[in-house]
A and B are shown apart, each in its own frame.
Chain A
Amino acid sequence: MIKKTNACDDRQLVAILGSDVDADELDAIAVHVETCSYCQTRLQELAASNDDWNRAGAILSAAGAITEADGRYSGDEIPKCSRWVGRHVEWNESMVRQLLEPPSHPEMLGRLGRYEIERLIGSGGMGIVFKAYDTELNRVVAIKLLAPYLAGWGAARQRFAREARSAAGVVDDHVVPIYNVDSEHETPYLVMQYVAGGSLQEKLDRQGPLDVPDILRIGLQTAKGLAAAHHQGLIHRDVKPCNILLDEGIERALLTDFGLARTEDDACLTRTGFQPGTPHYMSPEQVRGESIDGRSDLFSLGCVMYALCTGRPPFRADSGYAVLRRITDDVPRPIREINPAIPDWLEQIVMKLLEKDRAQRFSSAEDVANVLSQWLAHVQQPHVVPAPVMTKPVGIDQSWNKNRWVKYLVGAAAGLLIVIAGIVVVLEAGKGTIRIESDVDDVPIRITQGDALVDTLTVTKAGKSVRVAAGQYVVEIGGDIDGISVAGGTVTLNRRDEKVVRLVQSRQANLVTGSNPDLPKAPSGLQGVILEVAANKKLVEVSVGSNDGIRKGTALHVFARNTLLGRLEVVEVQADKSVARIVQQNPGRPMRPGDHFATHTDEQLFPNQTGRTSWPQLIDGVGTNPASIQVKFAGPQGLRVSCETSRAAAEPIICPGRLNLAAGTTHELYLSEVPELPGAEFHASIELQQVTDEARAYVNHNAVPIEFAKEEFENALAGEMVTKVIYLPDPKNTEQAIAGAQSMVISRLAPGVNPITEADRQGTILAVVRLGNRVPISASENGPGYDNDAPDRQSLAYAARQFNSMTANERRELFDPPIPDLTVEQLRNGFRQSAKLYQQRGKHEVADALLKIAESGRLPDDARSGLIGSGVHATDDAGQTISRQIVPALVLPDSSVASGNSLVVLRPLELIYRKDGPVSKHYGEPFDAQELEAGEKDSAAGKRSSGSDFLNIASVSDNEIKLVGNASRPMEVVLSILANPDNPLEWKTSVAGTFFAEFSKSDQIRLDGGGTAKGATFTVKQGNVGGTNFLVFDGNPIPAGDIKIIDPRDSGGDDAVPLVSDVWKATRNIAQIQRDGEKPIPISIALREQVAAEGDQ
């Protein structure tokens, strides 16, 4: 009988559901529930509806049954989808009250040992910070309590203890001192000095950008704190405004939270992949998980100072993930664009701290502190303390575009005939400072006094300050630098004075014809021919002159059959003809009389182009700033597309098949790796996505298709690279260029034309897409896409270099330690080895070509590609590494296949790394010639196989096992079905090379041994799918259930080379399944030495 009594209280029942308290502690209600069936039922109802209870019963009891039947997705496995519930918990006072003992005073929050807790100051991912009062020592302290849900987690406790140890070891005015630690407490805590002024983050939130003296002071003090930590060999690793506390009143900044701090030699801990809290202040090396040193903290300090200057961190995006991307790839927006009140030198200091390459940063925190203190002294007393001199050139890459441009300019100028050599500035100088500012980078300057050379220096855009004594000085621009002039002319310098000399770019040298409104406007669409080429090959006479509107400086573009051959700049004008210098030309096809040219307009320049694709402003108000580019394509085998990003700020280019282009790098995707589409029509579509500074969602509404026409395909196959470049025309300033509505231009370039330079002439480049059948012009040697020296591309040395640079990232990222560079000798051996394999496969044409490569040390003229490589990291569902590979390959002509080209994979260079077992010896050893030779000797002696042999299970299903492998010499494949361990069923066949075994239909095998696998029959035969040879055991299905593949190492086979692999587990899930009531049937496969195997029989 169910009856409600006065003691029945729903509220109490609800409270019980929400707690985990044992019944004994709830005695009254527990006793009541034990006897009151109303409450028993009610408790059940409050927990869940009847439906839910029923569902729970049904599903959970059924789960067990299905588990047994299928052996996976079992109820015993805990799905690893915890991420969505692992949300950050905000602590409030009522929550933390529960963690504390009751307070002695009612106005206090609680008590923790001898500490009276006054209030909650803050909480983060790891812990909760209180303001408290130490009743024994009568002082105010801050207490940091490890979050209780972490207290039971060993790693967190360790980290907490480490923080205490680390921080306690650093004694400095600018590091928050640790008073006490209790790591034995149920929830460990540490006691620190209470710093009253709050964190720098709070100040930043309150008042935005700070004043210059404050920025310098806080930067200086933080640098000092870091210097003290670094002195102890400790890297803070989490420098950010929240971790810099400000002491009220006495203007002191103190570094805190050494929770992540690690000693420099604590290498194993730096790679845990644990990414704490806010990533905005992480260094690129931290993001990449590389080893870090104190200079990582300097980068973070740079981020902090940037935030102090501008009110926001330098790298922002809509997700933590995107922030990380930007940290590694982007140059932050110049500080002075956001806050013009920041002086140039301060921006330089911050940008130097923000250098991606740590070698370019300051060398130590002490150095930073020194520089900042000098400037602080100067700022505070400008009339007493002179501005410090920047002793080292500060390399700032804040405007990628301009730098590129200038480098090009200087490069081009070297070939000039008309040289305005050594613009001379005569200075009457008292003792004081000459500051030389420059519009361009890398201008060599010579300062002489009379005949004596006083100083030589190189001026960058950062400028230079030189202290000089009284006397007459001559400042010259050293070297043949064209187009640089000095603004201001003669300068008289007084004692203690600072005079500025500006080096400006003169207009004549400015080749940006389209974008500079001051330039003489060349008539659009004017065409002409080259009349004569000077003997020095540097000047040409052209058929147009001032009558046609030609001016000095006009750019002319030379064509042959719609491709750009090169570029001219008019240097001397007559009425009906002009002299122009050759700015650029294709080394393979020099200009000659009769070549046509046109003045610079897009239509003229690229008459056959697809034209402009408009780039409209979006309806939803989100801008169209392209920050990332995707390239999608598919096409016939043997062709290659390469893409380049040119903007440092660009997000990587992404292509299917893991093509991922970080800024300034070149990757390639071989089309044989993507599914072939019917008709083999080639399409590349470029999508531009935006990640705005304002943390807006990305957009990818803009798709710019790049089409390659059939003839371009043919050209590419014939060895003529087709290059198309996408750019925003006109504005030279990247920020400007991407700020507004733009149109994009896709141009096809002539071979040899540097697309970067080309686009730079015309606007802001976004992407370069190339179609060709040769290794592209190296990105690593002369900057993306341009190749001054035309190295011997056919040589193996070049191929190795190319391969090494192409795979550098993968080798670094996939392997630890990274796989070293491939050497020419290794490569040669690789080709030799592959030649044998292809010979054995009957591919004589390919084999001959490979052999020739090995002997001549050169790739053949008709090679369809350079040496290419790609990296793969395969993991299983649990994230465990299955294999890591760097696979070198080459596309060679092969008349035996329809496409005429074969992708030749250099087997011996294949690196397969498995997480355990002997095969991991390949790890880190791209190709070991000695081992190979030793293997060959061993082979002659009938010993074990060499390292290049392998045998993999390609797939397993009910009725077939596919094997793929390689044997460097005649060997046996042994398939054993170990139904009866004492008498395993074995089938053997001889193999050599990449599997080419001689099983035939007659190899029928009845699986009736051992009383387990009844009546199944296998036929072993060979097959070839997609160029991969395999062995098939087919016939009647193996009786229901999967097959467990047992590693022969485990089965105790002596001479079995343990090469069984579970590489395919990720896709095929070869789980162990029992047949009804019987033991699993293990199968092993092995490669064995034939000699040994024969001896067995």
Chain B
Amino acid sequence: MPSSPPETRASLILRLQNADDVAAWDEFVELYGPVIFRAARARGFQPADGDDVVQEVLLAVAQSIGKWLERRDRGRFRAWLLRIARHESINLLTRRATRPLGDDGEAEWRKLQELPDVDAVSSLIDLEYDRAVFQWAADRVRTSVATNTWQAFWLTHVEGLSIEEAAREMKTRSANIHFGRSRVMARIRELVKQYEEYND
């Protein structure tokens, strides 16, 4: 029986001597779990199977950490994590397509006929990863700015209100909408950039 996540984490903590690496793992799981899950869903997996895929990828990654530790030329743990996770996800999502896990037997049978397209899966993963980072950054910004600032951005850019409509709804002057939405956007972009640099 494969180890459960808490055990995996515990053994990782013991093996990764660097606390920063442990933190990297935790962040990775939080961020990358949804990536794998969404990619799996996009490939037609049921939610429960999507969970399995997530578990399997994380487990595979966890098991490879030993190999990483043995490498003399190992680079940064974060960068390695992302590489191996991407690889494992693609691997699993393409391999799993040959197993009957779909919504119903026939759909799965149809899928069997189509050879899994590695390129499609890998770009799906990349897309989902970008999305996760972006989503993460947005969440951080949302909690770090005043509600009105966030709303200025959300109403105009996500819900599609015009500047004036948003200003009316929020009972504020339009300059605050202009300022707020751009402040939010600038910070999201900045965080995404930081994140990418930090994980390179």
Contact = CB atoms under 8 A, between A and B. Distances in A.
Interface of A: 16-17, 20, 22-24, 26, 30-31, 33-34, 40, 43-44, 46-49, 52-53, 55-57, 59-63, 66, 69-73, 75, 77-85, 318-322, 620, 628, 630, 651-652, 654, 656-658, 660, 675, 689, 691, 698, 700-701, 703, 872-875, 877, 882, 956-958, 1026, 1040, 1042, 1066-1069, 1073
Given A53-B157, A84-B23, A875-B6, A319 B186 contact: no
Nearest to A83: B23
B134 interface: yes
Contact of A79 (B4, B41, B139, B163): B139
Contacts of A691: 17
Given A24-B173, A48-B185, A654-B14, 19 more contacts: A17-B182, A20-B145, A23-B175, A30-B173, A33-B175, A47-B185, A69-B41, A70-B47, A75-B139, A78-B139, A79-B31, A80-B30, A85-B191, A85-B194, A322-B18, A620-B72, A700-B69, A877-B5, A1066-B5
B138 A56 contact: yes
A325 to B, nearest CB: 8
Contact of B10 (A73, A81, A320, A658): A658
Contacts of A33: 175, 178-179
A83 B183 contact: no
Nearest to B23: A83
Interface stretch (B32-40, B84-92, B109-117, B118-126): B32-40
A61 B175 contact: no
Contacts, number: 197
Nearest to B4: A1067
A1067 B158 contact: no
B47 A83 contact: no
A327 B76 CA distance: 27
A319 B20 contact: yes
A77 B31 CA distance: 12
B175 A17 contact: no
Nearest to A80: B30
B98 interface: no
B176 A22 contact: yes
Contacts of B22: 321
11 contacts: A20-B146, A23-B175, A31-B175, A43-B179, A47-B181, A59-B135, A78-B142, A321-B18, A657-B3, A675-B1, A1068-B48
Nearest to B186: A47
Contacts of B142: 78
A16 B179 contact: yes
A904 B116 CA distance: 45
Contacts of B41: 66, 69-70
Contacts of A43: 178-179, 182
A52 B48 contact: no
A959 to B, nearest CB: 10
A63 B135 contact: yes
A618 to B, nearest CB: 9
Nearest to B133: A59
B134 A1026 contact: no
B115 to A, nearest CB: 26
A52 B185 CA distance: 8
B147 interface: no
Contacts of A48: 185-186, 188-189
Contacts of B195: 84
A864 B145 CA distance: 63
A59 B139 CA distance: 12
Contacts of A80: 30
Contacts of B5: 877, 1066-1067
B163 to A, nearest CB: 8
Interface in B133-173: 134-136, 138-140, 142-143, 145-146, 149, 154, 157-158, 163, 172-173
A22 B134 CA distance: 26
- Pick the 4 closest A-B CB pairs, nearest first: A321-B19, A30-B175, A23-B175, A47-B182
B83 interface: no
Interface string B53-64: 001000000000
A85 B139 CA distance: 13
Interface of B: 1-7, 10-11, 14-15, 17-20, 22-24, 26-27, 29-31, 33-34, 37-38, 41, 46-48, 50-51, 55, 69-70, 72, 103, 130-131, 134-136, 138-140, 142-143, 145-146, 149, 154, 157-158, 163, 172-176, 178-179, 181-183, 185-186, 188-189, 191-192, 194-195, 198
A849 B195 CA distance: 60
A701 B7 CA distance: 25
Contacts of A72: 37
Contacts of A873: 6, 10
Contacts of B51: 1067-1069
Contact of A56 (B29, B55, B188): B188
Nearest to A1025: B1
A1036 to B, nearest CB: 11
Contacts of B136: 79, 81
Contact of B4 (A56, A675, A1066): A1066
A10 to B, nearest CB: 13
A1069 B4 CA distance: 13
B32 to A, nearest CB: 10
A78 B31 CA distance: 11
Given A57-B157, A657-B7, A73 B37 contact: yes
Given A56-B138, A56-B185, A658 B15 contact: no
A678 B17 CA distance: 31
Given A30-B175, A44-B182, A70 B37 contact: yes
A921 B84 CA distance: 44
Given A34-B178, A81-B30, A319 B17 contact: yes
A1042 B48 CA distance: 8
B17 A957 contact: no
A657 B7 CA distance: 7
Contacts of A1042: 47-48
Nearest to B179: A16
B182 A660 contact: no
Contacts of A656: 3, 11
Most buried by A among B15, B29, B185: B185
Contact of A57 (B18, B158, B172, B194): B158
A957 B47 CA distance: 9
B183 to A, nearest CB: 6
B14 A56 contact: no
A47 B5 CA distance: 40
A957 B178 contact: no
B183 A698 contact: no
B48 A78 contact: no
A38 to B, nearest CB: 12
A73 B157 contact: no
Given A700-B70, A957-B48, A56 B157 contact: yes
Contacts of A882: 6
A66 B145 CA distance: 25
A700 B146 CA distance: 48
A20 B149 contact: yes
Given A321-B19, A700-B69, A1066-B6, A79 B158 contact: no
A958 B48 contact: yes
A49 B1 CA distance: 49
Contacts of B47: 70-71, 1042, 1073
A53 B153 CA distance: 11
A16 B182 CA distance: 9
B11 A654 contact: yes
Given A40-B178, A59-B131, A1067-B55, A79 B23 contact: no
B72 A701 contact: yes
B134 A874 contact: no
Given A320-B19, A873-B6, A874-B6, A20 B175 contact: no
A874 B186 contact: no
B11 A322 contact: no
A628 B14 CA distance: 11
A37 to B, nearest CB: 10
